């Protein structure tokens, strides 16, 4: 176990760089707890930017399988920083964290926030230090990190999915609306292979929602190659064991309705980024002005493991049915092709 209490900010910053989703808890948790402790002790202070930058740097670990205490401490400290810094007056039209939201690959930020040094690596413009160190920029990063660790618990995240996700949404929307832009076989196989090995809760939920939204198409006569179904089944079977074991806190009717596959496809990508989730929240009428109290809102049902288990089961059953049709067709020597799942 690392002794963290006597380390300087520079030494800690160096240690944060080596914390990933794969880090063992006995290495990562003490660093998270120390960082969260220092942030919580003075969330609006001069050093807050350093501790926020630490929790952002360790968000890949925190979004995967952190110790319970470390996760709680990090979220509490980030929320305290948002409260202390988020409403300080400033004259900036925007802040650097907003531009970085477009490059949040699988939503864990691997780049430099600039919060430690006061500047962004790519820019040494002094005028920018002001915007980088602006309390509202620090609060913005704190919001992003908290929302990646615990989706739908944070308000006032700027709306908008990364551009890359917009193009994925368009591709899948074309498929389920029967106007595919490319070859649906290739696109669905690519989609099935798109899950990272240690996805955040948002990315994992989004993946399973998209798989469900496209499975009827994959089992319809439009798909003539069983490798699509094989790839989708393989992807889902790898994804299900990654679901967490958080208890379902929803009423039976609070789990989302996924019957509209075009809508579900879109949600499936919006779930994969803080800006995308903010868009879902906005469409559900979340009040942007209220910083807290989303507990009563069933929005987090989209990332509920119980909901996602059921959804995955439904998807697997549909795909297995489709595979059976291939096998029957092969046995009878017919042209391969499934039946229409009845949802087109």
Which residues 70-109 are close enough to bind Zn ion by CB under 5 A? Answer: 90, 92
Among 7, 13, 306, 329, binds Zn ion (CB under 5 A): 306
Compare residues 4 and 123 and give the one whose CB is closer to Zn ion.
123
Compare residues 185 and 250 and give the one whose CB is closer to Zn ion.
250
Among 248, 262, 294, 343, binds Zn ion (CB under 5 A): 248
CB of 139 to Zn ion, least distance (A): 10
Report if residue 309 touches Zn ion, rule: CB under 5 A.
no
CB of 236 to Zn ion, least distance (A): 19
* Cβ-contact 267, 165 below 8 angstroms: no
Return the residue matching tokens 């996760």.
Answer: 71
User: Measured between alpha carbons, how far is 174 from 176 in angstroms, rounded to an integer?
Assistant: 6
Query: Candidates 126-134, 175-183, 320-328, 329-337 — which segment interacts with Zn ion by CB under 5 A?
Result: 126-134
Report if residue 303 touches Zn ion, rule: CB under 5 A.
no
Return the residue matching tokens 């308000």.
Answer: 155
Which residues 139-198 are close enough to bind Zn ion by CB under 5 A? Answer: none
Among 161, 169, 304, 311, binds Zn ion (CB under 5 A): 304
What is the end-to-end Cα distance of the chain in Å, rounded? 56
Annotate 14-47 with b (16+ C-beta within 10 A) or e (fewer): ebbeebebebeeeebbbbbbbbbebbbeebeeee
CB of 253 to Zn ion, least distance (A): 11
* Cβ-contact 74, 34 below 8 angstroms: no
Among 65, 222, 250, 343, binds Zn ion (CB under 5 A): 250
* Tokens coding 181: 């832009």
Report the number of secondary-structure helices (H) and strands (E) in the chain: 15, 0
* Cβ-contact 238, 198 below 8 angstroms: no
* Tokens coding 276: 């995308």
Query: Candidates 57-65, 111-119, 152-160, 244-252 — which segment interacts with Zn ion by CB under 5 A?
Result: 244-252
Give, for 104, the enclosing helix (H) or strand (E). Answer: none
Compare residues 227 and 249 and give the one whose CB is closer to Zn ion.
249
Compare residues 181 and 284 and give the one whose CB is closer to Zn ion.
284
Interface residues with Zn ion (CB under 5 A) are: 90, 92, 134, 136, 248, 250, 304, 306-307
């Amino acid at each position: 176990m690392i002794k963290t209490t006597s380390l300087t900010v520079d030494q800690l910053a160096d240690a944060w760089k080596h914390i990933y989703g794969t880090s063992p808890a006995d290495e990562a948790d003490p660093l998270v707890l120390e960082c969260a402790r220092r942030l919580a002790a003075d969330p609006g202070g001069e050093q807050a930017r350093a501790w926020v930058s630490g929790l952002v740097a360790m968000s890949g670990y925190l979004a995967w399988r952190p110790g319970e205490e470390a996760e709680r401490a990090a979220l509490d400290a980030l929320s305290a920083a948002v409260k202390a810094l988020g409403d300080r007056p400033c004259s900036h039209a925007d802040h650097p964290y907003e531009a970085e939201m477009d490059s949040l690959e699988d939503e864990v930020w691997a780049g430099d926030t600039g919060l430690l040094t006061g500047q962004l690596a790519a820019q040494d413009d002094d005028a920018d230090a002001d915007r980088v160190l602006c309390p509202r920029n620090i609060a913005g990063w704190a919001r992003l990190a908290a929302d990646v660790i615990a989706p739908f618990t944070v308000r006032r995240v700027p709306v908008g999915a990364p551009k890359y996700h917009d193009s994925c949404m368009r591709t899948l929307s074309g498929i389920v609306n029967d106007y595919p832009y490319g070859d649906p076989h290739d696109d669905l196989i690519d989609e099935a292979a798109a899950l990272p090995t240690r996805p955040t809760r948002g990315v994992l939920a989004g993946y399973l929602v998209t798989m469900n939204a496209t499975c009827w198409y994959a089992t319809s006569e439009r798909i003539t190659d069983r490798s699509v179904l094989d790839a989708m089944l393989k992807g889902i079977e790898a994804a299900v064991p990654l679901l967490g074991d958080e208890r379902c806190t929803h009423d039976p009717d609070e789990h989302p309705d996924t019957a509209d596959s075009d809508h579900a496809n879109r949600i499936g990508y919006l779930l994969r980024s803080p800006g995308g989730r903010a868009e879902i929240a906005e469409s559900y009428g979340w009040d942007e002005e209220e910083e807290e109290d989303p507990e009563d809102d069933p929005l987090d049902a989209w990332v509920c493991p119980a909901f996602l288990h059921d959804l995955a089961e439904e998807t697997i059953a549909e795909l297995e049915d489709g595979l059976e049709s291939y096998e029957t067709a092969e046995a009878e020597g017919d042209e391969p092709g499934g039946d229409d799942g009845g949802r087109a």
